[in-house]
Amino acid sequence: MRGHGQGRGTVGELGEFGLIRELTSRLTTTPAVRVGPGDDAAVLSAPDRRVVASTDVLIEGRHFRRDWSTAYDVGRKSAAQNLADIAAMGAVPTALLLGLVVPADLLVTWPAELMDGLRDECQVAGAAVVGGDVVRGDAITLAITALGDMQGHEPVTRAGARPGDVVAVTGWLGWSAAGHAVLARGFRSPRAFVEAHRRPEPPYQAGPAAAGLGATSMTDVSDGLLADLGHVAEAGKVRIDIRTAALDVPGQMADIGKAVGVDPLQWVLTGGEDHAIVATFPPHVKLPARWRVVGEVQAPSAAAQVTVDGEPWRGAAGWDHFGG
Amino acid sequence: MRGHGQGRGTVGELGEFGLIRELTSRLTTTPAVRVGPGDDAAVLSAPDRRVVASTDVLIEGRHFRRDWSTAYDVGRKSAAQNLADIAAMGAVPTALLLGLVVPADLLVTWPAELMDGLRDECQVAGAAVVGGDVVRGDAITLAITALGDMQGHEPVTRAGARPGDVVAVTGWLGWSAAGHAVLARGFRSPRAFVEAHRRPEPPYQAGPAAAGLGATSMTDVSDGLLADLGHVAEAGKVRIDIRTAALDVPGQMADIGKAVGVDPLQWVLTGGEDHAIVATFPPHVKLPARWRVVGEVQAPSAAAQVTVDGEPWRGAAGWDHFGG
């Protein structure tokens, strides 16, 4: 019989404490971690005297599929989603906590590789997994809480956009949605888009950098550019216009669009899971090369709060997680 | 038709954003909350420059039953469980984040009253609900993350107990377990024990106070006194002996024990959900009246790490959440 340390067998066979040992044995730490996993709570440095916190829940079948993504990629992606929320406040991610629901008959390799993915994505962002809880249940469910430090910046909320500000994006737009369209039709390529769907690459450093550059509002693109800018427009009581000519639609994305009969602009404007960062800046701010100006903030009007080339967008703007 | 603001209808009818509005409208805040719910992340004061964080997951049927507890009580209890973890590090609770899974056909009143319970328990502890996420799923699931501030104290971990230290408890032991035994047999009284099961009262202030008194180790009693002291003994590489004569078995608890054929000591020693706090202190420390010395820390030996009146306890010491 092989040792459980190899991750053999089911989580039911391994038991709660065995599983926790297996999962925590995979973790790495950072200097910010004062007390790591295994006690009543973790203790972390918060040098700025302000801590940033965000929680997301992901359920198998709804937010990820085991036949489309490895456990490792689910870990990378779900960590990325939360760490991007921290960056989008202008903060530096420091830690992640995991609440995990697993069926008893799940092989230990799955949560073990999930944890590897969470750990590695944390390392990309400069953070560490510091704690969590594992319970038995029918549906694999991840509840992830990310923490961060403001490092002297003021939090950049969704409110604060002013007429005349430019709207700028950094990161990827529509790549995950295009990859999803490929996978949904049973294909595995083009690889770059499938990979983008499986493992987004949020521009973590751009969040604190934008705060330092004087961003007036900021959010991560999780529900789609138009939907998330809708929150910015609503919170700031402004109108936002996006110029499609300024958006980047890569040739290969256009090819996928042709192949599956979808306007790729739909992916760029309404695809969410790349976790790009969108922010508004005063017009005089000189933006680093990785930011792309895609629109401008206008005075509020009776028309739609977010427009595309001056008109309301006729596609589906984001989605309601409870609808459909 | 009544407004959704009254919490009528199902969560599916209300939709994700409507439900989030309904839930956040019930919240209160504290001066520590810099950015509350509704943005990418919350921002909180962390005056000590160290933040304490803990996550727990609770699933319907496994951790609570809707026919035994109201949504409000589930909120009170699940918040209490997490906030107690913060106090048991010696910290003052500051905030709570909620990851919530709800079936589409659940009446909105249920999560709304859950939120009221979370809010009120947070207020007892001096904290506030600052954020979260709501998704649709089959089983009601709560993932709760609590945060806290060390306020100048050093974190009191499970390690650190030294031979010669006294073991002291504050809060309630066995009340929730006795209440559970009553409910499991279809009764609703004695009320005090049923209430204790539905709504524990952790001694939040005792955690930071114990840190100030020089506690050498501390934990909250969530799996049972013997099981949780087992973690303390293991982490500190010591043996711990509990004296049953020092434990408080109220007359009414003894009566319930007689009625249901259970030794009430079993509840006091292995019942967890009251979230008492147990700590070890150097023998010279003068403990406040609400602490009860129940045992002592001894040098390690080949015998069981936690003993009761010098002998291994023959009952079931705690439980494995994946077993059975």
**Can you tell me the ipTM of this complex?**
0.91
Instruction: Give the mean pLDDT of A17-33.
Output: 94
* b/e sequence A144-163, b meaning 16+ C-beta within 10 Å: bbbbbbbeebbbbbbbbbee
- Residues B317 and B224: their CA atoms lie apart, in Å, by 7
Q: What is the pLDDT of residues A133-157, one digit of tens each?
A: 999 999 999 999 999 999 999 999 9
> B223: distance to nearest CA of chain A, Å?
12
The DSSP output letter for A48 is T
pLDDT given at position A315: 73
- Checking if the pLDDT of B44 tops 70, the result is yes
Residues of A in contact with B277 (CB under 8 A): none
**pLDDT band for position A316 (cuts 50, 70, 90):** low
The confidence band for B301, taking pLDDT boundaries of 50, 70 and 90, is confident
Predicted local confidence at residue B21, as pLDDT:
93
Contact state of A54 with B42 under an 8 Å Cβ cutoff: yes
Task: Compute the C-alpha angle B220/B226/B231, nearest 5°.
Answer: 65
pLDDT in tens, A57-81: 999 999 999 988 899 999 999 999 9
Would you state the pLDDT for residue B3? Answer: 41
Q: Which residue of A has its CA nearest to B56?
A: A133
State the pLDDT at residue B302. 76
Minimal Cα distance from A34: which residue of B? B50
Residues of B in contact with A138 (CB under 8 A): 138-139
Across residues B248-256, what is the average pLDDT? 95
Structural domains of chain A, with CATH: 15-149 (3.30.1330.10), 166-308 (3.90.650.10)
How far is the alpha carbon of B279 from chain A, nearest alpha carbon, in Å?
A: 13
Q: For residue A94, give the chain B residue with the closest CA.
A: B51
**Which of A55, A95, A158 has the CB atom closest to B99's CB atom?**
A55
Cα separation of A91 and A66, whole Å?
A: 32
Question: Which residue on chain B is closest to A93 by alpha carbon?
Answer: B41
- pLDDT higher than 70, residue B323: no
Give residue-wise pLDDT tens across range B77-127.
999 999 999 999 999 999 999 999 999 999 999 999 999 999 999 999 999
Kindly state the percentage of chain B with pLDDT values over 70.
95
Known binding-site positions of A for ATP: 132-133, 158, 222
The pLDDT tens digits for B200-222 are: 999 999 999 999 999 999 999 99
Which pLDDT belongs to residue B17?
A: 87
AA identity, residue A183: L
Is pLDDT above 80 for B8?
Answer: no
Contact list in A for residue B16 (CB cut-off 8 A) is 320-323
Rg (alpha carbons) of chain A, rounded to whole number: 20
Shortest alpha-carbon distance between residue A132 and chain B (Å) = 5
How many angstroms separate the CA atoms of B168 and B51, rounded?
A: 26
> Would you say residue A244 has pLDDT above 80?
yes
The three-state (H, E, C) secondary structure of chain B, written as one string: CCCHHHCCCEHHHHCHHHHHHHHHCCCCCCCCEEECCCCCCEEEECCCCEEEEEEEEEEECCCECCCCCCHHHHHHHHHHHHHHHHHCCCCEEEEEEEEEEECCCCECHHHHHHHHHHHHHHHHHCCEEEEEEEEECCCCEEEEEEEEECCCCCCCCCCCCCCCCEEEEECCCCHHHHHHHHHHCCCCCCHHHHHHHHCCCCCCCHHHHHHHHCCCEEEECCCCHHHHHHHHHHHHCCEEEECHHHCCCCHHHHHHHHHHCCCHHHHHHHCCCCCCEEEEECCCCCCCCCCEEEEEEECCCCCCCEEECCECCCCCCCCCCCCC
Cβ separation of B322 and A101 shorter than 8 Å?
no
Q: Percent of chain A beyond pLDDT 70?
A: 95
Instruction: Yes or no: say if B175 and B248 are a contact pair by the CB < 8 Å rule.
Output: no
CB contact under 8 A, B135 and A48: no
* Closest alpha carbon within chain A to B33: A50
Residues of A within 8 A of B43 (CB-CB) are 50-53, 89, 91, 150, 155
How much of chain A is helix, strand and coil, in % rounded to 5? 35, 25, 40
Q: Could you tell me how many residues make up chain B?
A: 324
pLDDT score of A3? 41
Query: Among candidates A234, A111, A224, A120, which has minimal Cα distance to A176?
Result: A224
Q: Is-contact B95 B147, C-beta < 8 A?
A: yes
Taking an 8 Å cut-off on Cβ atoms, the answer to whether B135 and A58 are in contact is yes
pLDDT score of A272: 87
Are B41 and A51 within 8 A, CB to CB?
Answer: no
**Residue B145 · residue B81 · CB < 8 Å:** no
Model pLDDT for residues B140-193, shown as the tens digit of each residue = 999 999 999 999 999 999 999 999 999 999 999 999 999 999 999 998 899 999
Q: How confident is the model at residue B316 (pLDDT cuts 50, 70, 90)?
A: low
Q: Per-residue pLDDT averaged across B300-313, rounded? A: 88
Residue A39 with chain B: CB contacts under 8 Å: 89, 157-158, 219
The residue of B24, B35, B55, B151 whose CB has the most chain A CBs within 10 angstroms, and thus the best one to mutate to test that interface, is B55
Q: What is the pLDDT of residues A80-93, one digit of tens each?
A: 999 999 999 999 99
In sequence order, the β-bridge partners of residue A307 are A241
Q: Which of A231, A242, A86 is nearest to A160 (CA)?
A: A231
Choose among B104, B138, B322: nearest Cβ to A136. B322
State the pLDDT at residue B303: 73
Question: Per-residue pLDDT averaged across A240-258, rounded?
Answer: 96
Q: Would strands A277-281 and A141-149 be described as parallel, antiparallel, or unpaired?
A: unpaired
Task: Using CB atoms, pick whichever of A16, A42, A138 lies closest to residue B53.
Answer: A42
Q: Show binding-site residues of A for substrate.
A: 63, 273, 319
**CB distance B91–A42 less than 8 Å?**
no
Chain B residue numbers touching A19 (CB-CB < 8 A): 322
Q: Round the average pLDDT of chain B to a whole number and report it.
A: 93
Judged by CB atoms closer than 8 Å, whether chains meet at A15 and B155 is answered as no
Residue B68 has pLDDT above 70, yes or no: yes
User: Above 90 in pLDDT, residue B322?
Assistant: no
Q: Would you state the pLDDT for residue B210? A: 98
Q: What is the pLDDT of residues A265-285, one digit of tens each?
A: 999 999 989 999 999 999 999
Asked if residue B296 lies in contact with residue B164, where contact means CB atoms within 8 angstroms, the answer is yes
- Substitution target in B145, B228, B278 with the highest count of A β-carbons within 10 Å is B145
Residue B43 scores a pLDDT above 50: yes
The pLDDT of A190-217, averaged and rounded, is 96
Which among A49, A56, A145 is the top mutation candidate for probing chain B, defined by the most B β-carbons within 10 Å of its own β-carbon? A145
Using DSSP, state whether A33 is helix, strand or coil: strand
Would you state the pLDDT for residue B120? 98
Instruction: Answer yes or no: are the C-beta atoms of B115 and B82 closer than 8 Å.
Output: no
